[in-house]
Each structure stands twice: as structure tokens, then as C-alpha cells.
Amino acid sequence: MKKWWWKILCIVLLTYTFIGGLLFPVPRIMILNETIRNLYFHVCMWFAMMILFTISVINAVKYLNKHDLKYDIKSRQYAVVGIVFGLLGYATGVIWMSFTWADPNNPAVASFSAIAKEPKLIGAAIALLIYFAYLVLRDSISDIDKKARISAVYNIFAFAFLFPSIWILPRLLPSLHPGGEGNPALNYNDIDARMRLVFYPAVIGWTLLGSWIVSLKVRMNILKEKEHLSDIYLQEKNAPIHEA
């Protein structure tokens, strides 16, 4: 039970998120209306992505300090799952945008040309592409130790670029995206108090789900490594001995 409590908590929180997100009352805000429920998915997934990327870079630094490959494996898997959450957050954001910003019958929203120049969308896309490049870089290097070292350094670079591209630069430019003057849903003026009852548990739930997926992927990766090393050992053991 001690090892499973956080997984049970993850299931409970996400069940609560789906039920509360779809059924609990939400404030009636012009343009947003019922689409505001997407906050529990779009924004919370982005928060989970940031947490997963943070854990990934921490493991990258640990690898550079201790040169233990288990930290490299964890760093990679947290980055992979972080990318998945980033793509889900981006997709749910685009869906949300299509019902609010891009309504041609509503003069209060922007045109498609303005949306195409939206700095937060561009910054988020660039950040995800940088992390995609991290995976491509890893797969292009065959030497295990060299791959781990270069990947760890690149991971630090990618994380350093994440904050300017998503949180800083877009706020210096004109943006249609809400929350430009602060952190969305963290500022008490951003969302209704009733929504926070679902928002914060949703952030924790999505983050725990990401960590759960990472734990399974890390275990699978370690088993593959052990199997690979075992095959190498058997090959060396069964290799014929040539006398000089």
C-alpha cells in the first residue's frame, strides 16, 4: 500500500477532475461560456508538462554530477512524457481557440491572421520543437556515455529556453491569450474561486499520471538494458576460444 498510495491518489484526483470539470458550476463569462471548463485540461496539462520537464532537467544535472545511467534514463523518459503533455495541452488549446478567438460571427474575437501571429502559440511550438530535437539528438548518437553527456547538456539548454519562449517573451508582445499580466489561474483575479476547487487537484492529478507513465517506461527501459547486457554476456561466454 505504501508504494501505491500516490497512484490511487492519481486515479481519485483525475476522476474528480473529469466529474467536476464537466458537472460543477462555472462562471458565465462572455465569449468563453462553457468552454471555460477546458481550463482543467489545457492549462493543467501545461502545468504538468512544466513540472515533468523540471524533473527531467534535475535528473540531467544529477547524471552530469554522478555519471549514473539511471539518471539519464529518467531524464529522457520525463522529457518524453513532458512532450506528450505539451502536445495534449497544445491540442486542447487549439480546440479552445477555435470556439473563442476564431468565431467569425463575433466581432470581439480576432481574425485567423491575428491568431497565426499569436506569440504564445509560436513560443509554445518552438519550445516543443526544441525538445523534439533533444530526442532526435539522442537517437543520432550510438555511444551510450557520449549520448548521455551530450543529451544532459542539451536538456539544460532546452529547459533554459522553455521559460522565455512560453512565459516571458509572449508577455512582452501583444497577445490575445488571457493571463498576460500574470500566471493563468494562479492570480486570484484570473479565475473564480469555485474553479480552483478543481484546478489545483487537476494539476496534481495530471502530474501524478505523468510520473506514473514515466515509472513504467523507466522500468521497461531498465529491463531492456539488462536483457541486452545478458545477451552480450552469453555471446561472450559461448564464443569459441582461439589458441595462439
Q: What is the tens place of the pLDDT at every residue in 155-188?
A: 999 999 888 888 777 666 666 666 555 445 545 4
- 151 and 138 in contact (C-beta within 8 Å)? yes
Rg (CA), the chain: 22
Task: Show me where the domains of the chain are located.
Answer: 32-230
SS3 helix, strand, coil % of the chain, rounded to 5? 75, 0, 25
Number of H helices, E strands in the chain: 8, 0
Sign of CA dihedral 42, 43, 48, 50: positive
Q: Is 23 left (phi over 0), alpha (psi -120 to 50) or beta?
A: alpha
- Summarised one tens digit per residue, pLDDT across range 60-88 is 999 999 988 889 999 999 999 999 999 99
More confident residue, 104 or 78: 78
Tell me what percent of the residues of the chain surpass a pLDDT of 90.
43
**pLDDT band at residue 99 using 50, 70 and 90 as cut-offs:** confident
